[in-house]
Amino acid sequence: MSVYTHSIMVASLITSVLSFVLFVPWLIYMYRKIRLFIFF
């Protein structure tokens, strides 16, 4: 049972790290796009 919970914890950790890595460049892109849209 501990092996099962350990694999679930590893999978959730990998998923959270991957989503963060994919979310940060999108956030920077949207920030630049909105900033350019506001100022021009």
**pLDDT the model gives residue 35:** 82
Question: CA quadruple 15, 18, 20, 6: dihedral positive or negative?
Answer: positive
Say which residues have a Cβ less than 8 Å from residue 40's Cβ, sequence separation at least 6.
none
In tens digits, the chain (40 residues) has pLDDT values of 788 899 999 999 999 999 999 999 999 999 888 887 776 5
**pLDDT the model gives residue 36:** 79
- Domain ranges within the chain, ordered by starting residue: 1-40
Q: Is the pTM of this model over 0.85?
A: no
**pLDDT the model gives residue 38:** 73
**pLDDT the model gives residue 40:** 57
**pLDDT the model gives residue 34:** 85
Two structure tokens written together for 9? 């914890």
